[in-house]
Chains A and B, each alone.
Chain A
Amino acid sequence: MEKTKAPSKIGLFIFDPGGGLARAVDLGTVVQKLIKMKNVSRCEVIADIWSGFLVSVKEDLKAGNLNRLLWVGRFSPYQEKIIKAELSAEGLNPYLHEWCDVEEQGVGKEGPDRAVQTQKVMMLVQMAVGRARLIEALEPVSLPAVDAVLIIGAGVAGLHAASSLVKLGKRVYLVEKESGVGGKVASLHRLYPRICDPRCGLEFEIEKLRGSNKLELHTLSRVKGLDGGPRNFEVKIEKAPRYVSEERCNGCGKCAEVCPVTIPDDSTSHLPQNPHQSGKKAIHSPTPMAFPSAFVVERRYCPPQCRECVKACPTNSVDLEQTPSDMTLRAGAIIATTGWDPYPLSKVEEYGYGLYPNVISNLEAERLLENPPELKEVGFIQCAGSRDEKHLNYCSSVCCSVSLKQALSLKERLPNSRFSIFYQDIRTPGFDEELYQRVKSLDKVIFIRGLPSTVKPDGENGRLKIRAEDTLSGKEVTLSLDLLVLAGGMAPSGGTGEIAELFNLPRNNFGFFESHLQCHPEESQRAGIYVGGACRGPMNVGQSIESTHRAMVEALQFIDGTFLVEPTHPLVDKTKCDKCKRCMEDCPFSAYYFDSEGFPTPDLARCRQCGNCMGTCPLTAISLRHFTIKQTAAQIQAIKVSSLPKEEPVILAFLCKNDAYHAAREAADSDAVIPANVFFIKVPCAGSVNNALLADALSFGIDGILIAGCKDGQCHSVRGNQLVKTRSGDLADKLKKMMIEPERVRFEHLEIRDSGRYVELVNSYMRDLKAMGPNPFKV
């Protein structure tokens, strides 16, 4: 392959602006030696990149004297950008530059032996030349993208994302399993901190969506399958029959007037009479909120042969023979906003939920807020089933504020009632503290630290007797209550489980969608699929809207016409590949698929270019472009161990570019002395290091190999660190059989700020290796 191409002509420039490098290194000798190297056409030391220098490089490029450039020394990102831009105008591909920062390898400090440093610079530049010979011109790959986003779940998070996307002029598919939108928030009565009606805010968003022709809303629909990849997802949905035509129905409600069946409301069974919930007919306006406005029939309640609604409908829109329909929606990105479910409180047996009609959940209590019946004594139990290893092992973070809000609103209506709030800790983060202070200042509201041990009926009068120990005073408290509200927690919704299974999205220990919580909270571990709102973890309404917007912004990149993928993606050499599909197994992002000939091929849209496939391939058939196995092998081969004294160990380190590399760089910039014979290669992920490269290095006589990656659970490519740890462990076992010390291959965790530890590590490794003696392959 190489032979057909023009031979590499490398222009090698050593950048030494302040003369600092010349003080530490004998640059004259370096240049003299380098100019004699194969493929090096021009070699000089430069003090700055301006003053005619770039012009001369341009002339050389034009004349064909140079076709690759190797820049030695430290360039600022700005200078790199300028150089690339200036020379790409002259037709030099930006991937034909090679950068070799010798300072980050620990060279350039005054003090250590000049000859040693000169040798190290020579070695480093030779490594870079080895690589530079093999670099190729690359162009970004452009992929087409479907210009729509699919949002699963039309709760508050989904609605806000949809309305923002529509505002930006993007097409949106909104899929909801209920007959109307609004989700859990629509069933709330008041939102803290402003104690306003959530329907107001929801209506505001719905209004924007109603008029939009960019939105396609699919209610009564469930996701059934996923095909394709990012920028081109194909999502299958199943639409349950509505029995009313969405186009024709004008929502006049005449059908409901004649409907003979009143259906029981789902959650009013435990509540005292509430006028708001009565009288829902089998044909009714969509719930929770009437968007779309077309009515819906709950057929399971219909008496056989009843056709009253059909007869009454003035627009002829009722069709009781409708059947479910399947559809396929095409979208560039997906946002899952599948929300949360209330924790089933009947599992918390000690509080009698489901046994006594006046024990209700906090969600049900919302319905009481507007028009409560006469209540003298109301109790709240916080953390009902939360922060409890038998139930939810986490804090749902909103229930304290919710109960405070409910107490506050109820108190407005029932000024003479007494409220008792049983709690473990009141957790009101941020400004919710104000709410807490407000409730505390109310008359006849008491906070009791301690959870009740028993809830029993108080005789025959229908009241509840509750017993608890106040752990602050150590006294027992016994109360007789009219109503007990259990502050149940937020559990992952059923929809979250369904979607996780269908889309193969990982979930965390608590059942919510897994994401890289600190850095990329909106990312699921599948490219193009984002998660927002309470399906990611307990959060309040405001946070949920924020989080879904973050997901939305990320989703935008997948729907913009065409998309450019960096050309540094993996490439499978089909002449070498024998379809063992280890790459498929080990790809942390499931990016591989079989092409028409049965070869594994990365889906460039899904690929995050971490190189784990390259690391795992037993036949070295996969390479990241611009970071190929051959290039790295050439780099390793250029370390001429024989030219160094035999008793001085040589370490080759592979450093993850996200963490360990930065640690090493910082160490080099500090005063710390890094042993001269440590050479490192920056890799996209520790998991991209192939065992064949390690075998190469050992067989060339390198004494010790250090692979540094992230700690478990911190790896940016999910589990690259674990994969390389196992693989290098296998190699170490083999070394043992070969009667070579297995410690010559080491895997270490290094965090970004571990620069001190890096220095310690290489120094102690140096000592260990010295004690071991030279690598037997050293000649």
Chain B
Amino acid sequence: MPPKVDREKCDGCKAEKESLCEQVCPGDLMHLGEDQKAFCRMPRDCWDCMSCIKACPKGALETRIPYQLGYHVARLIPMMGTNTITWTCIDLNGKVERYQYRNRGSDD
């Protein structure tokens, strides 16, 4: 399922030739529309790797959870730190679980 784009937040990476989501998408699916807002041009090809969601500096992208996994309220939100990533996982009942990971970084 393609990511949801918050059109108010998305600034098209300020008229960049290639926005960050476009650069990072392994399937080359994200694009900037004529209105300079990002969109997924082939929704069925997206395999929810969430790279674009992690990359978006404005926090304008959110993954859409496939219905087989969770309805409506269900959400999965990553937050990127310098060397950490935290996940907020909200299931269809609104139950929240959070995980925090330290990346196996290059410097330790």
Chain A nearest CB: distance from B101 CB in Å? Answer: 9
A695-B80 contact in complex given A730-B59, A737-B75, C-beta closer than 8 Å: yes
- Bound Cα distance from A520 to B24, whole angstroms: 43
Residues 88-130 of A at the B interface (beta carbon under 8 Å) = none
Question: Contact partner of B81 among A693, A733, A737, CB < 8 A?
Answer: A693
Are A618 and B57 interface neighbours, CB within 8 A? yes
- Bound Cα distance from A690 to B81, whole angstroms: 9
A734-B14 contact in complex given A580-B20, A739-B90, C-beta closer than 8 Å: no
Q: List 23 A-B contacts (CB under 8 A).
A: A580-B13, A580-B16, A582-B57, A618-B20, A620-B82, A630-B82, A633-B83, A690-B82, A691-B57, A692-B81, A693-B82, A695-B80, A695-B84, A696-B82, A699-B79, A699-B100, A733-B9, A734-B79, A737-B75, A739-B96, A776-B96, A777-B86, A777-B100
| Apart from A630-B107, A633-B83, 18 more pairs, CB < 8 Å | A580-B13, A581-B16, A582-B57, A618-B20, A618-B55, A618-B56, A618-B57, A630-B82, A633-B81, A695-B79, A696-B83, A696-B84, A737-B75, A737-B88, A739-B88, A739-B90, A739-B96, A777-B98
Map CB proximity to B onto A207-247 as digits: 1 under 8 Å, 0 otherwise.
00000000000000000000000000000000000000000
Complex interface: chain B residues within 8 A of A737 (CB): 62, 75, 77, 88
- Bound Cα distance from A581 to B19, whole angstroms: 10
- Bound Cα distance from A527 to B77, whole angstroms: 42
Chain A nearest CB: distance from B6 CB in Å? Answer: 8
> Which are the 10 A-B pairs with shortest beta-carbon distances?
A618-B57, A696-B81, A738-B88, A695-B81, A699-B86, A633-B82, A734-B59, A692-B82, A695-B79, A730-B59
Are A734 and B82 interface neighbours, CB within 8 A? no
Q: Does A731 contact B (CB under 8 A)?
A: yes
Complex interface: chain B residues within 8 A of A700 (CB): 84
Map CB proximity to A onto B1-40 as digits: 1 under 8 Å, 0 otherwise.
0000000010001101000100110000000000000000
Chain A nearest CB: distance from B88 CB in Å? Answer: 4
Residues 71-108 of B at the A interface (beta carbon under 8 Å) = 75, 77, 79-84, 86, 88, 90, 96, 98, 100, 107
Complex interface: chain B residues within 8 A of A734 (CB): 59, 77, 79
- Bound Cα distance from A630 to B103, whole angstroms: 14
- Bound Cα distance from A1 to B81, whole angstroms: 21
Q: Does B58 contact A (CB under 8 A)?
A: yes
Q: Does A389 contact B (CB under 8 A)?
A: no
Are B82 and A730 interface neighbours, CB within 8 A? no
Q: Does A2 contact B (CB under 8 A)?
A: yes
Chain B nearest CB: distance from A405 CB in Å? Answer: 53
- Bound Cα distance from A730 to B8, whole angstroms: 11
- Bound Cα distance from A616 to B13, whole angstroms: 12
Complex interface: chain B residues within 8 A of A139 (CB): none
